[in-house]
Amino acid sequence: MIVAPMAQDHLIDRLPPVRGRYTADAPLSGITWFRVGGPAEVMFRPADSDDLADFLAARPRDVPVTVLGVASNLLVRDGGIPGVVIRLGRAFAEVAAAGLTIRAGAGALDANVALAARDAGIGELEFLSGVPGTIGGALRMNAGAFGGDMKAATVSATILDASGGRRVLTGAEIGFVYRGSAVPDDAIFVAAELTGAAASPLDIARRMEAIATARAESQPIRSRTGGSTFTNPASLGGLKAWQLIEAAGCRGLRLGGAMVSEKHCNFLINTGGATAADIETLGEEVRRRVIDNSGIALEWEIRRVGVPAEGRRTS
């Protein structure tokens, strides 16, 4: 008698009940700004922060968790992301103003927070209109642009730890540093309170228009890109990553469908048909050439997650 092998259980069958939604083998390439990458083994869209906290408390400890916003400064590798990918939806996107304070969910778009601040007459948050992504990602990387950053703007942030415990951190406790913070990698930002200074909505709108113009003139914002690829070296007195890349002769460099932007050479572009491997390999080639030319090792600003195509786990 021939006995057919039992079907292997999918990860989704091991996960705790939730009020939100699980999706097995959820495609990710359509939501990343690069438009590349493999699927999430399981996508979890929590109903609210309590649902997320309950999931974190009950999930199997061996299951890795990755949090995605709008995947603007992210490269998902071609084999996808093992474990559970958490996507914060509408319940985490609320924005409300009171006095000179903005309270925003971690899933709120940075641009929407800037608009709410404008309408409420809260200045000094215009920089968020030039930061693609969500507040959660902006907190994680201390996002900054056009003279502002999250360190200066943040009053407090609410996080969930790896076991679902909730804690409110002051700006000082977050420990902001250049393009990062002291918050553990396994903690999840769920909300923040930001503040600025009183200003005329008209003046704020003018500054936001100037930022939009500057971005359009200097960055390939209409291309499939992931934003700034490398951080600026902190110890080189203001020297920018793009200057090092330019000096190493990398402007316009190509690999497969990936290209170093002609417009701003600290941006990598999917010109069409690129794989995540093309983009990452091109980035590493840029790093190699910069090291050879200047002796300086650039650090990735783009967050790279997941596994290569040959490392994809099937379940």
Q: State yes or no: is 310 an active-site residue.
A: no
Short-list 253, 264, 250, CA closest to 294: 250
| Active-site annotation holder among 179, 207, 215, 224 | 179
Q: Residues 38, 79: contact at Cβ < 8 Å?
A: yes
Q: Residues 77, 307: contact at Cβ < 8 Å?
A: yes
Buried b (16+ CB within 10 A) or exposed e, 208-247: beebeeebeeebbbebbbbbbbbbbbeeeeeeebbbbbbb
C-alpha–C-alpha distance, residues 86 and 92, integer Å: 12
| Active-site annotation holder among 49, 72, 228, 261 | 228
**End-to-end alpha-carbon separation of the chain, Å?**
26
Alpha-helix runs per DSSP H in the chain? 49-58, 110-120, 135-140, 150-153, 171-174, 201-218, 241-247, 276-294
Q: State yes or no: is 261 an active-site residue.
A: no
Q: State yes or no: is 301 an active-site residue.
A: yes
Q: Residues 135, 106: contact at Cβ < 8 Å?
A: yes
46 DSSP 8-state letter? -
C-alpha–C-alpha distance, residues 244 and 250, integer Å: 9
Neighbours of 26 (CB within 10 A): 19
Q: What distance lies between CA 45 and its chain's CA centroid?
A: 17
Which are the catalytic amino acids?
Answer: 179, 228, 301
